[in-house]
Amino acid sequence: MSAIPGKVVMLAGGVGGARMAEGFARALPPGSLSVIANVGDDEEFYGLRVCPDIDTLLYTLADRIDRAQGWGVADDTVKALDVLRELGAPAWMKLGDSDFGLHIWRSWRLAGGASLSEITGEAASRLGARAGIVPASDDRLRTKLLTDQGWMDFQPWFVGKRCEPKVTALRYEGATEARPSPHALQAIASADLIVVAPSNPLLSIEPILAVPGLIDALSASRAPCIGVSPLIGGKAVKGPLARLMRDMEIEPTCAGVASRYGDLLDAFAVANVDADSVVDLQCRGLAILPTDILMDGPHGAERLAREILAFSQTLKAGV
């Protein structure tokens, strides 16, 4: 049996993705983990580029996250947002004062010609993140939702309308033309293990897989790929996944999630309670790790990461 994988690449977005990334960062030696982040949620506010999935990863991996909320900076204040509201600007997205600092710096660096990958790498190292963070693409890619109120951008639907408008279709605008981040391609090329985090498959993982160069690189990789279910007994730990799947007529089960990833997965970690529901997948060759997938704080996330790393040793590299 070989040693724990030297290089791990994770696909992630949202709070579940950041928690899983923290678990792996704690379980692996420094320099082993690269997280490819969804950029479909990115949005411009007041002329500033806000990248919520990158930032949730940055703050979580640098232990600056507001743990109760799952996003934003711990103990942040909202003085800037209060002034913006007083001045009549829309202020439905709760951007904290410390968080604004990052958005100002990122936008300033983008205007100076740096790529989002370079900026994100620099932010991760300067803020003390325990893993590499790589945007899926440096090109603009936007998740759009077709709702009963028409096409909407992601943040106006997710935060502005609290996910209330019913979604019937999704598209990832710009994805087909988007080039993969060169840093993401490098990370995939040297990966010994690929992990698909327990993120929302439709809103966090599929916008990453929609970048043609990325899915090609992932498919070409010989590293085993293991997914972690974001559903436990048909319910999401956080967020609108189960309802979204139902609204889009996708079965809100582990099998429904696995079906979104096509041939990408070699293995799937599911909750003990869901083990029986994935027997069909197992018969079709997907290795199943039934375990406690609920990440109760950083220690719980590390415990799950260690179990997945040990399980990955039983998987063969592809040909």
Q: What residues line the site for ligand FO1 (CB under 6 A)?
A: 13-15, 41, 52-53, 55-56, 71-72, 93-95, 99, 155, 158-159
Q: Which of 205, 238, 228, 61 is CA-nearest to residue 136?
A: 205
**In angstroms, what is the minimal distance from the CB of 75 to ligand FO1?**
15
- Say if residue 52 is exposed, middle or buried (CB neighbours under 10 Å; 0-12, 13-18, 19+): buried
Choose between 60 and 181: whose C-beta lies nearer to ligand FO1: 60
Choose between 105 and 311: whose C-beta lies nearer to ligand FO1: 105
**In angstroms, what is the minimal distance from the CB of 99 to ligand FO1?**
6
Choose between 23 and 224: whose C-beta lies nearer to ligand FO1: 23
d(CA 141, CA 218): 19
Choose between 191 and 208: whose C-beta lies nearer to ligand FO1: 208
**In angstroms, what is the minimal distance from the CB of 220 to ligand FO1?**
28
Choose between 223 and 244: whose C-beta lies nearer to ligand FO1: 244
Degrees (nearest 5) of the Cα angle 138, 16, 283? 100
Choose between 28 and 116: whose C-beta lies nearer to ligand FO1: 116
Choose between 99 and 206: whose C-beta lies nearer to ligand FO1: 99
**In angstroms, what is the minimal distance from the CB of 149 to ligand FO1?**
18
d(CA 82, CA 84): 5
- Residues 6 or more apart in contact with residue 10 via CB below 8 angstroms: 17, 20, 21, 24, 33, 34, 35, 36, 194, 195, 196, 197
**In angstroms, what is the minimal distance from the CB of 154 to ligand FO1?**
7
**In angstroms, what is the minimal distance from the CB of 235 to ligand FO1?**
17
**In angstroms, what is the minimal distance from the CB of 286 to ligand FO1?**
26
- Residues 6 or more apart in contact with residue 11 via CB below 8 angstroms: 17, 35, 36, 194, 195, 196, 197, 199, 205, 208, 209
Choose between 204 and 277: whose C-beta lies nearer to ligand FO1: 204
Q: Which helix (H) or strand (E) holds 44?
A: strand 43-45
What are the C-alpha distances in Å from 67 to residues 57, 63, 70, 74, 244? 12, 9, 5, 7, 25
Q: Which of 238, 236, 266, 264 is CA-nearest to residue 252?
A: 236
**In angstroms, what is the minimal distance from the CB of 73 to ligand FO1?**
9
**In angstroms, what is the minimal distance from the CB of 287 to ligand FO1?**
28
d(CA 300, CA 273): 18
Choose between 158 and 261: whose C-beta lies nearer to ligand FO1: 158
CB 164, CB 195: distance < 8 Å: no
Residue matched to tokens 């199943």:
288
Number of residues that make up the chain: 319
